[in-house]
Amino acid sequence: MNEEAEGILLVDKPGGITSHDVVDRVRRLFRMKRVGHAGTLDPMATGLMLILVGKATKVSQYLMSMDKEYTGTMKLGEETDSQDADGEVLVTKDVPELSEEAIQLAMKEFLGDQYQTPPMFSAKKVNGQPLYKLARKGKTVPREPRVIRVSRFELTASELPEVSFLVACSKGAYVRTLAHDLGQNFGCGAHLNVLRRTGVGQFGIDKADTLDILKELSPTALRRKLVPVLQAVPSHAL
């Protein structure tokens, strides 16, 4: 079956595995090597990944450029070296009394185009080396800030020190850096402790399947799960 399989598979990634692990498992399901993705998720994160099967790998750049949506929770009062719950706690501070209105107002300041400095614990490369490899050696190097856009950043629940939110942002935006920077604004620091990607462009998490469900499908049923490239990408981008 495998030479001809082609399309986009919507996968609901579980926490605790890498994006490469997801690609690997899909390769095994389809018994083919030509499988890629249109944007990684950190190991702790869950949610929507677009897995590209066969010739669909050719449109990865277009799909990667689409806006993303997430839900998440940050913990105020603790900064970590990775800006998320997988890192070492560097600083602990008391969390001020913050009303929901004050949190929402602070979130509004992050809307629109802005410069964001990628975290050291990221796959972004400097002189050909991923930053996270340098970070693991305890090194910090200057990173070029880049322009990102945040179109939504909304409070969904507040049980201090935890704050839950929804965010919609452009390619290249680090949600954990948003959480870190919001904590800086409050003077107490913060890190991201839950992240779930709920949307990529027109695709929503409601149409995605878990790896456990996918591995139970027959080859024919699995193939039916593939979204044709032409449904996802305008013909001028092919």
| Positive or negative torsion for Cα 230, 232, 235, 238 | negative
pLDDT at 141 over 50: yes
What average pLDDT does range 39-48 have in this prediction? 94
Q: Given this model, what pLDDT does residue 55 score? A: 94
From 12, 24, 42, 181, the catalytic residue: 42
pLDDT confidence band for 1 (50 / 70 / 90):
very low
Pairing of strands 129-130, 190-200: unpaired
pLDDT at 112 over 50: yes
What average pLDDT does range 30-43 have in this prediction? 95
Mind listing the pLDDT tens digit for each residue in 154-205?
999 999 999 999 999 999 999 999 999 999 999 999 999 999 999 999 999 9
Assess contact for 49 and 204: CB atoms under 8 A: no
Q: Give the least confident one: 2-11, 32-41, 159-168, 217-226.
A: 2-11
Q: Given this model, what pLDDT does residue 2 score? A: 44
Mind listing the pLDDT tens digit for each residue in 59-110?
999 999 999 999 999 999 999 999 999 999 999 999 999 999 999 999 999 9
Assess contact for 17 and 43: CB atoms under 8 A: yes
Query: Full-prediction pTM beyond 0.85?
Result: yes
What average pLDDT does range 146-155 have in this prediction? 97
Q: Tell me the backbone φ, ψ of residue 28, rounded to 5 degrees.
A: -70, -40
Q: For the chain, what is the radius of gyration of the CA atoms?
A: 19
Q: Does domain 7-65+204-237 have CATH number 3.40.50.300?
A: no
pLDDT at 115 over 80: yes
Question: How far is the C-alpha of 200 from the C-alpha of 48, rounded, in Å?
Answer: 7
What are the angstrom distances between the C-alpha of 47 and each of 69, 121, 189, 204, 224? 10, 20, 26, 10, 21
Assess contact for 106 and 152: CB atoms under 8 A: no
Annotation says 42 is catalytic:
yes
DSSP track, the chain:
-TTT--EEEEEEEPTTS-HHHHHHHHHHHHT-S-EEESS---TT-EEEEEEEEGGGGGGHHHHHTS-EEEEEEEEETEEETTSBTTS-EEEE-PPPP--HHHHHHHHHTT-EEEEEPPPSSSS-EETTEEHHHHHHTT-------EEEEEEEEEEEEEETTEEEEEEEE-TT--HHHHHHHHHHHHTS-EEEEEEEEEEETTEEGGG-EEHHHHTTS-HHHHHHTPBPHHHHS-GGG-
Question: How far is the C-alpha of 237 from the C-alpha of 165, rounded, in Å?
Answer: 33
pLDDT confidence band for 124 (50 / 70 / 90):
confident
Q: Does domain 68-199 have CATH number 3.30.2350.10?
A: yes
What average pLDDT does range 113-138 have in this prediction? 86
What average pLDDT does range 21-35 have in this prediction? 97
- For the chain, residues classed under CATH 3.30.2350.10 are 7-65+204-237, 68-199
Q: Given this model, what pLDDT does residue 238 score? A: 67
Q: Given this model, what pLDDT does residue 3 score? A: 62
What average pLDDT does range 21-36 have in this prediction? 97
Q: Given this model, what pLDDT does residue 26 score? A: 98
Pairing of strands 162-169, 68-76: antiparallel
High-pLDDT (> 70) share of the chain, %: 98
